[in-house]
Structures are given as structure tokens and as C-alpha cells.
Amino acid sequence: MFLWIILACLTAAVAAVMLVTLARGAKPAADDRAGEIAVYKDQLAELERDRNLGLISAEDAGYAKAEIGRRLLSAAGDAQADDAPGTRRGMTVAGIFVVLLVPIVSLSAYVTLGSPQLPDQPLAARLANPGNNMALLVAKAERHLAQNPNDGAGWDLLAPIYFRAMRLADAELAYRNAIRLVGTSPERLSGLGETLIAASDGIVTEDARLAFEESLRLSPDNPRARFYLALALEQAGRRDEARAAFEAIAKASPADAPWMELVQQHIAANGGEAAPPPAAAVPPAAVSQGPGGPTPDDLSAAQEMSGAERQEMIRGMVESLAARMQEDPDNIEGWLRLIRSYAVLGDQEKATEALNAGLKTFPADGDEGRQLVALAREVGLSVDGVTQ
């Protein structure tokens, strides 16, 4: 409340000064004109004296008198305009309107859209009780780490948050600090590797490959590290080795593993034959959800289908997803799923069309667009000259 009083007094003082200045603004101009008129009159009188004394010829005196008279008439006309009641009144009204408009509009907007009844809360108080506000939680952690830069647990906590927020430079620094202070672990090394890949638009760099190799050494069954090392082989053009690595991941993984779909895409992209996912692997949550979703009867019938029939059913589901994406293009997860699905089916042309359609809604220079481009590289699609 005290702050409101101070701001109101300051606003009133500024408005009063401006109004007084505007109200008096015409008077100095009128005074200046009066002085100018007196000077011209004195010049005429002096000119007449010089002519009578013979100091100037009658012809020259006529020319000078005409010029002084013209200036005198001009000054007299301006003075009359300055003294006109309508002009001064118009300036005063306009000044009052301009000076009062800004505080009135600002106050009205704040009362309507703001929350004047809430007490002020300094930043320190908000950081002390951030609640579920992720931005404040991050700010609190950053302030703590600025004061305690050797807190490895803090860096370890903040690194994946930075990564999810696509603050990749901060995420890399946090992972490296956590590894330096707390030590290596499969999770930290894999997180660092994924951050480096994301910062390189999906390319497995040498630093990222080394991080995944160390992660795999510490945890030989780490599917994330195995996947990115296989991807590094694929990007290096070693397709046979990459296919064998992806097939080994598929063989060692449960049939319903969440990464199996992506692994099958890369097997197909490297010349292998991607096995269609078993019908039983379709999540129960997907049953009968939305147009084109498999019903319980579909799943039951799929168990007795041949491989070709099951592949045809999957293609029908993918086409149904494509139709839904045409109706609701503002769905990044849908575009990612559609591109992956076409890649699994080995239909590179359809996958490229889906990529281009997705990039029309999510341009490649945004976070979602970068996800699409990164996925395109993972599944072997060309991103050179892609429609953006």
C-alpha cells in the first residue's frame, strides 16, 4: 500500500508540472513577438530620421522601409495568432488530454487485468517457496550452484532438466560437472551423449560415441548406449555392421520394449527385414481410442493372421493415423509416430512426405522441427532440401 501512495504522488507531481508548462507555453511566444514588433517600429523611425538628414537616398529609404514593413506585418500577424483564445484553449485541452491519458489507461488496465490485492513478493521469498513452478525451482537450484559450484548432486539433478528444456549448452556443462564431481555412471554418460547428439542435430559425434562406449562398459545391457553406438555405425556408412548391431538389440530386447519400433526402423533402413510388432505388443491404452485404433476383436484376429495379413493390418492403422494428422496437424507426437511407422514399413517416400508435412506445421528452426529432422536422420531420410 505504501508503494501505491508513492507512485500516485509521483504521477500527480509529473502531471502537474507538465500541465503548468503547457498552459504557460503560449505566453513567452507572445512576449517575444511584442518585442520584435517594437524593434521593427524603432527601425522605421530611425530610417525616417536618416532620410530627413540626407544620410540615405529617398530610393534606398523606400526599399528599406518596404522590407521592414513586411517583417513588421508578419510579426504582428503571428502575435495575433498566438493571442487567439481558441488557439491557447486548444493547446491547453490537448495538453491535459495527453498528460492524463497515460496514467488513466495504465491504472484501468492494471485494475482490470492485474491483481492489485496481492501483496508484493520479493524474488528471495519466491525462491524460498517455489511450489510447483519449474522455472523458480530451476532458478533456486542455479542460485544454490552459483554459491556452491562443487555440489555434484546439484549438477546431477539439474542436467536432465536442462536437457528437457533444450538448454543444451547448460545441460552439457551440468553433466560434465556432475561426472567430474560425483563420478561416472551409465545414466550420466548416456545423458551427456544424448545432449551432444541433440546439439549436433542428431549426429553422433566422437565425444558422444566415447561417452556411450564408457556407459556400455559400465552397463553392458544398456540399450540406450547400444542403440546410439549402432546409430554411429549407420551414420559412418557401415551399414552391415549397423544392421547387425540393431538386430542384436532387437534379439536381446523384450518384444514389447518401447524402443523396439525405432530399432526395427533402423534394421529396415540398413537393408534388413524389419519384423512387424506382435499384436499383443499393442498397448491396452491404444485399444479403441480414436478412429482407426485396433479393437479387442482386431487384436484377437491378428493373433491368427499370416505375416502378410498382419503387415496389411498395420499399414491400414498407419494410413488411419495419416488421415488423423491431416485433420489435426498441430500434434508433434503424431508426426513423429507417423514418420517412424512409414520407416518401419520400408516406405521411404511416404515417410518423406510425412516429414515435409510435419515441417510445414513445425519449422525446422524450432524445437519440434529439430525433433523431426533428428528423427529423419535416424531413420535414414534425406534432410537436404527438405521443405521447411
Using the predicted structure, report yes or no on whether residue 336 has a pLDDT greater than 50.
Answer: yes
Q: What is the arithmetic mean of pLDDT over 230-255? A: 90
Radius of gyration of the CA atoms of the chain, in A: 40
Share of the chain above pLDDT 90, in %: 19
Tell me what pLDDT residue 16 has: 74
Question: Of 364 and 316, which is predicted with more confidence?
Answer: 364
Q: What is the pLDDT of residue 287?
A: 36
The pTM (predicted TM-score) of the whole model is: 0.46
Please give the Cα distance from 281 to 187 (Å, whole number): 27
Cell numbers that stand for 207 in this block: 565425444
Lowest mean pLDDT among 14-18, 133-137, 166-170, 311-315: 311-315
Q: Residue 135 phi/psi, 5° resolution? A: -60, -40
Query: How far apart are the two ends of the chain, measured CA to CA in Å?
Result: 53
Q: Residue 71 above 70 pLDDT?
A: yes
Confidence (pLDDT) at 345: 73
The packing angle between helices 85-113 and 26-52, to 10°, is 160
Buried b (16+ CB within 10 A) or exposed e, 1-38: eeeeeeeeeeeeeeeeeebeebeeebeeeeeebeebbe
pLDDT tops 70 at residue 250: yes
Hey, where are the domains in the chain? Answer: 15-113, 282-388
Report pLDDT digits (tens) over 254-310: 887 878 888 888 888 888 765 655 444 444 433 333 334 444 455 455 455 555 555
If pLDDT is split at 50, 70 and 90, which confidence band does 118 have? low
Identity at 49, one-letter amino acid code: R
Phi, psi of 280 (to 5 degrees): -70, -15
Residue 166: pLDDT band with limits 50, 70, 90: confident
State residue 186's pLDDT score: 93
**d(Cα 278, Cα 373) in Å, to the nearest integer?**
28
Among the ranges given (74-78, 83-87, 242-246, 332-336), the one the predictor scored with the smallest mean pLDDT: 83-87
Centroid of chain to Cα 236: 33
Query: Which comes out higher in pLDDT, residue 127 or 63?
Result: 63
Residue of higher predicted confidence among 84 and 359: 359
Determine the pLDDT at residue 292.
41
Confidence of residue 169 (pLDDT cuts 50, 70, 90): very high
Q: How far apart are CA 188 and CA 206, in angstroms?
A: 17
Does 92 score more than 90 pLDDT? Answer: no
CB 324 within 8 A of CB 290: yes
Looking at per-residue pLDDT, the higher value among 369 and 186 belongs to 186
Please give the pLDDT value at position 274: 58
Q: Which residue has the higher pLDDT, 341 or 310?
A: 341
pLDDT at position 41 is: 76
Whole-number mean pLDDT of the chain? 75
Are 321 and 338 in contact, with CB atoms under 8 Å apart? yes
**Mean pLDDT of the region 136-160:** 88
- The span from the CA of 262 to the CA of 264, in Å, is 5
CB under 8 Å to 260, separation ≥6 — which residues? 250, 253, 254, 277, 281
CA-CA distance, 260 to 281, in Å (whole number)?
Answer: 10
Q: Which amino acid is at 144?
A: H
CATH of range 282-388; options 3.40.50, 1.10.3470, 1.25.40, 1.20.81: 1.25.40
Residues 6+ apart with CB under 8 A from 101: none
Grid cell listed for 125: 521469498
Quote the pLDDT of residue 105: 72
CA separation (Å) from 162 to 128, 193, 212, 306, 342? 21, 14, 20, 46, 31
Is the model's pLDDT at 387 over the cut of 50?
A: no
Region of poorest pLDDT, from 39-43, 60-64, 248-252, 294-298: 294-298
Output the pLDDT for position 177: 95
- pLDDT at residue 175 in the model: 95
Closest by CA position to 385, among listed 354, 365, 351, 356: 356
